[in-house]
Amino acid sequence: MSAGPFALWRWERLLADSPVFLEGLVATLLVAASALLLALILGIIFGLFSSSSIKILRYIARVYVEFFQNTPLVIQIFFLYNALPYAGIVMNVFSIGLIGVGVYHGAYVAEVVRAGISSIPRGQREAARSQGFSYIQSMRWIILPQTITIILPPLANQAVNLIKNTSVLALIAGGDLMYRADSWAANGTLSYGPAYLVTGALYFLLCFPLVNWARRHEIRIKNRDTQAAPAVPAETSGSAAAKEPR
């Protein structure tokens, strides 16, 4: 029997044990979907805080964004898994993945929302205020509906990064796709080659459609803006010369 890293018998065993990988894929999808929902909620809240005229809200949002963007996700996951039990707080690995990955990516979504709000002309907010709209009302009815189309591509990219970052749960036996693949390969066969290839392909199948959609949507937005931009007639040299005083 061949001992090569991609020997046929390794693939046959992987195929026979495919439910292990499917269970890991389902676990990854559940964690990713839950964490993405949490990241969107936090991102919208802190994105609004960042765009608020209230200084303390802007300060709170800045602290949240800077802290979670500038500390590794692995440390945050280890803190939830290893440190919180000393404070009497014990969570299962699914909850750790949901909170850890969701809060981490919420900081990035907050910056996406802030940038989207900032891209809307300030005059629209001033006009809404002059019509008696409160800050929340102007955001809900005027600013955010326009912002959604703009921020969809970067949000899709954040969703892709979030899906890939669920793999850190393998470090705490999270039952995700990466953990199942690594455990299966280490369990007597050492078939890391097929296991990692299949795992990489499954992550690719999850992420590539989102990346492709974000790219096409961004192109559509650019084309729409180009078509909507008013054409500026260029003056010919003759007409320019005709305007010069004699």
Distances in Å between the alpha carbon of 239 and those of 215, 242, 245? 42, 5, 12
Arithmetic mean of pLDDT, 160-188: 93
Whether 242 is in a domain gets the answer no
| Secondary-structure breakdown of the chain: helix, strand, coil percentages, each rounded to the nearest 5 | 80, 0, 20
CA distance 81 to 89: 9
Q: By mean pLDDT, which of 105-114, 151-160, 217-226 is the weakest?
A: 217-226
Tokens of 112: 């996406």
What's the chain's average pLDDT? 88
Q: Is residue 96 part of a domain?
A: yes
Residues whose CB is less than 8 angstroms from the CB of residue 16 and which lie 6 or more positions away in sequence, other chains included:
none
For residue 163, tell me if it sits in a domain. Answer: yes
Question: Both tokens of residue 89?
Answer: 């707080």
Look up the domain containing 69 and give its range: 8-229
Rounded Cα gap, residues 53 and 103, in angstroms: 24
* Residue keyed to tokens 């390969």: 185
pLDDT, tens digit, 9 for 90 and up, residues 6-21: 888 889 999 999 999 9
CB contact at 8 A, 22 and 175: no
Whether residue 244 lies inside any domain: the answer is no
Instruction: Count CB-CB contacts under 10 A for residue 161.
Output: 13
d(CA 147, CA 112): 10
Task: Report the number of distinct structural domains present in the chain.
Answer: 1
Strand, coil or helix: what is 126?
helix
Q: How far apart are CA 135 and CA 52, in angstroms?
A: 8
Does residue 42 fall inside a structural domain? yes
In a domain, 2, yes or no: no
Give φ, ψ of 133 to 5 degrees. -75, 140
Q: Is 1 within the bounds of a domain? A: no
**Residue 88 region, left (φ>0) first, then alpha (ψ -120 to 50), else beta?**
left
> Do 69 and 107 contact (CB within 8 A), yes or no?
yes
Q: Does the residue 236 lie in any domain?
A: no
Whichever domain contains 135, its CATH number is 1.10.3720.10
Q: How do residues 13-46 score in pLDDT, each as one tens digit? A: 999 999 999 999 999 999 999 999 999 999 999 9
Average pLDDT over residues 89-98: 95
Of residues 59, 148, 143, 159, the one with CA closest to residue 108: 159
DSSP 11-43: HHHHHHTHHHHHHHHHHHHHHHHHHHHHHHHHH
- Greater confidence, 122 or 56? 56
